[in-house]
Copies of this chain bind each other. A is one copy, B any other.
Amino acid sequence: MKEKGILLIISGPSGSGKGTVVGELSKDVNYALSISATTRKPRPNEENGIHYFFKEKEEFKSMIENNQLLEYACFCDNYYGTPRDYVEGKLNEGLNVILEIEVQGTFQVKEKYPEAVLVFLVPPNIKELKSRLVGRGTEDVETINKRIKRALEEMEFLPKYDYVVINDEVDFAVTKIMAVVEAEKMKSFRHLSLMETFKGEI
């Protein structure tokens, strides 16, 4: 039997580079990105079951009621959520499933799935954070300052996560997250059956 995968939640303040890190991590054959369900209409290049699971509002609401979502939220009149079935299927295949979500969603998932491993990705320092936010080149100074303030507020959630990964370089951050997952797989509560296995082998 294949060992069950780890449900890995990756959050972090704006500018932490979580999108890039998650993108790299998901290239590894042992990792799968979760796919969100949404009531938003598909854009021309988006496919159902690949980019999102597109749902009607009524269907989404019934998923909420039937506890079929690990977390959900509503932005701009559209619902977004993480389908439990899809995640559990991948975990049972032995894949580690990555959820890149905001802090609010994180604690919803942790409540429904206490074995989830919570990783908080942070930029190495404020200078780097600023340069990443400026580097996008799409925002004015005021917007950037607002984002920095927001990022610092988000940092307050750090103690509620299991691990903090400092994203100095993408490759290093990916390696560090993989070490976390490897270590988590060795947690003793995942190996309680070993005692019985050994006794049975005598």
Residues on the B chain within 8 Å of A201, using CB: 125-127
Q: Is the CB of B148 within 8 A of A191?
A: no
Task: Determine which of B152, B158, B198 lies in contact with A191 in the assembled complex, contact meaning CB atoms within 8 Å.
Answer: B158
Do A163 and B188 touch (CB < 8 A)?
A: yes
Contact B202 A186 (CB under 8 A): no
5 A-B pairs whose Cβ atoms sit less than 8 Å apart in the complex:
A125-B197, A126-B202, A164-B187, A179-B183, A180-B186
Query: A120–B202 contact, CB under 8 A?
Result: no
User: Are A188 and B120 interface neighbours, CB within 8 A?
Assistant: yes
- Mostly helix, strand, loop or mixed at chain A's interface? helix
B162 touches A194 (CB 8 A): no
Chain B residue at minimum C-beta to C-beta distance from A118: B188
Q: Which of B129, B176, B180, B188 contacts A161 (CB 8 A)?
A: B188
Does A137 sit at the interface, judged by CB under 8 A? no
Copy number in the complex reads: 2
A interface bracket (residues with beta carbon within 8 Å of B): 35 or more
List B contacts of A122 (CB < 8 A).
Answer: 194, 198
Given contacts A127-B201, A176-B182, contact A195 B163 (CB under 8 A): no
Name the one of B126, B165, B186, B197 contacting A163, with C-beta atoms under 8 angstroms.
B186
Are A152 and B199 within 8 A (Cβ)? yes
> Hey, what's the 0/1 contact readout for A143-174 against B, CB within 8 Å counting as 1?
00000100010011011111111000000000
Q: A180-B183, A182-B183 are in contact. List 9 more A-B contacts (CB 8 A).
A: A122-B198, A126-B198, A155-B194, A155-B198, A162-B188, A163-B187, A164-B186, A164-B188, A179-B182
